[in-house]
Structure 1
Amino acid sequence: MSVGVDIGTCFLVSSRQGEDNQTKIKSVRDAFIDMPNDPQVKNMMKMSGVDFIEDKEEEKLYIIGDPAVVMANIFNKEARRPLSKGFISPGELEAEKILKILLKNILGNTRVENETCYYSVPAEPVDKEADIVYHQAMFSKLIGSFGYKPVALNEAAAIVYSNCAKEKFSALAISAGAGMLNICLMYQTMIGMAFSIQRAGDFIDSSAAQATGTTASRIQSIKEKGVNLMDPSEGDPKTFREREAIIIYYKSLVLYALEMIKTEFKKREGTIELPHAIPIILSGGTSLAKNFKEFFESGFNSMKGKFPIPISEIRMASDPLNAVSQGLLVAAMNHDEGVQS
C-alpha cells in the first residue's frame, strides 16, 4: 500500500491505487482566506454551503480551497496561500496549520501501518536562494504526523515516471506550476540535471495584474476560464486586454525557461552525454492554457539550433494536472515492491 502527494503552490494532489487497481486522485486548492468568527458571518457561510474551519482561539473562520478564491474575487482581495513560489511561505504564520488541514483532506488515514507516502519537493532554484532543507523537513513532519512513512522525490522526475515508460524513463521534464518551474533531465531513471526557476503561473498572474491594473486573483480567474495563447481575441471582449497581457508574460516565461536550460546544461558540459534524443514533457497547471504545446514549440524553434540537448519530440503529459502525483505513486509502489522482494 502506498500513496503519492504532489505538494504544489496552487494545488495539493494525492494519487493512490484503489481496490479495483484504478488510480484514485484527490485534490484541493492550496488557498485560504480568514474571516472574523462572528455568528452572523458563520450563519451566512452555512446557508451558502461554504465549508469553513473554526479557530476559536484566534477567533477566526478559515475558508479553504476553491471557495477561498471565489470569496477573494467577490471581496476584491487576494486569497492567501501557505505556499509561495514552491516553498512554505515565510510570511504566513498560519501556513503549517493550514497545510496540515489540506494534507489531511487529501491523504486521509493510512490503510496499513507505516504506509509509504512519496511527496514532491522542488529542485534548488538557480535564480533565487530558497531553503529546501526546511521545506522538506516540514512536509516530512506533517505527513509523518498522520502515520505515513514520508519519502521525498524531485517533482519533475515524477513526471518522467508517469509519462516515459516507453522511453525507459528518459526525458527532459518541465513541471510548470504556480510558484515555480521545475526542470529535470533524466536518463533511464538516473537524474543528470535538476533545477528550478522561480517564475511560473504566479509570475504571469502578478505581472499581468500589475500591467493592467487589476488583482492577481482576477488574472488567475481569467486564465483558468481559458486563454488561447495563439489568439488573444478569442474570448470575452471585456477581458481582451488582460488576455493579451497574460500571453505576453507566457512568452517571457517560456523564453526564460529555455535560456536557463541552456545555461545550466552548459555548466555540466562534459559530464552529461546522451546516446540518443529524448522527449520534452510539458506538465503542470500553467501548461493547461490552450495551445501551450504549440506556443512552447514556437519558442523552442527560435533557438533550436543552439539548444544543447538532442530532442526527439515535444509533448504534453497525458494528465498535466496529476502527472506529478501519479509519478510519485509509481515510485512509491516500486519502492514497496523492492522492500518486499
Structure 2
Amino acid sequence: MGALLTLQLLSIVSPAYACGCGAMVHGTGTQLSVRQETSAVRWDGRGEEIVMSLTVDGNAPKAAWIMPVPHRATVTLGDRALFSDLERATAPVHRDRDYFWPRDGDWPFTRDHHTAGDSAGAAPGAAAPPVGVVDRQRLGPFDVARLTATDPEALRSWLETNGFRLPPALSTELRPYVDQKWEYVAVRLAPASGDGPLTGTLDPLKLTFASERPVYPMRLSRLARTAQSLKLYVVSAHRMEPDSTIGGTPPKVLYAGKVPLEGGELARFAGVSYAAEGDTPYLTALSQSFWQPSAITGDHELRRAADDTPVRRVIWTDHLMRVAGVPAWLLTVTTGLAAVATTALLLVRAGLRRRRVVVPPPPVVVPPPLG
C-alpha cells in the first residue's frame, strides 16, 4: 500500500525565499510572505505525488517558487478539496466528562467555567550541461519550468536570465541537491487577473516524480529568519514517523488511524480500496516546530513506526456531577454531616445512660414469725 504525507507550514515570513519545501523569491523593492503552505504527498514505493497550495501576502506583482525533486517531475494542477478532506479526517472529537468537587465558576464560587484538553524521470548524467530546460508550460496563473542542473551558480544564472532573482545564499543551500543530481521545478507566480499584487490562496500544483523512499525537501528552510511550524500527514499501510527530527522539536502525534471509508478527494488520492476494510491505508498526523531554522540538517524522510496504536485528539467539556439537579458533592457532604450528627447524638445518649445513678430499692423487712 502506498504512503501519503501532508505538510502544513504556518507563520512563514521574511525572508520570503525560505518556505518549507522550496524557495520563494521576488523582485527588489517589493514584499512577499507565505502566510500558509499546505502540501500533500503520496508515495507508493516507487514514486511520489505532491499537491501544494500556497497562500501569500504582499505587494509583489510576481514571484518565483523553486522546488528541488529527486527525479524528473510532471507538473499539473491539483484539487483544493484534498486539503479540506484531510482537515476533516484528522479533526479532534468533542466529548463530555463529569467531575465531582466544585471548581472556580461553580457554587459556592463564581462564573461558569469549562476546561479543554488533548488526550493525549531519471536524474541527469555527469555529461549533462550545467542547466537543462526539460520543458516550460502554462498552468492557470503559473508559468512552470522544469530544469536540470549540475551547478548551483549556473542554475542561479539561468533563473535570473528568465526573470527569477535567486539570493546568493540559496546557491549554497542548493549545492547538496546538485551533488545528488536532483532536478528542480521553477514556477513563476502571478495574479490570476494578470495585474495587481500577488495575494490570497493560489491554485494547487501537483508534482509527480520517481522516488525510492518517501522524502520531503526541507533543507531550504535553513534560510528562514523566524521560527517554522510544520504539520505532517502520512498515509501508508501502517503508522509512520519521521526518521529524525532534522533539527526541530520531537514530532507530536495528533492523529493515527485508518483513512475514513468514505468518498472524496482524500480517498482517491490515497488510493483507498473498499473491497475489504483490511486494505484501508493508515493515516498519521504529526506536528513539529523549528525554533532555530538554521539548525535544520536536511530533508524529512519517513519510516514505519514501531506499532499501529491509534491516537485521536479529544476536546473535553467538563460538567459538574449532579443528582436530580443538585450537585452530587453537596448531597454527599450534607448526607455525611447528617450521619455524623446522628452518630454523635447516639453516642451522647449512650454516655448519659452509663453515667446515670441507680438508687437501690429499700431493703425488705421480714417480720418475725408469730408465737
TM value normalised by structure 2: 0.25
- By relative contact order (CA 8 Å, sep 6+), the higher-ranking structure is 2
Structure whose residues are more often strand by fraction: 2
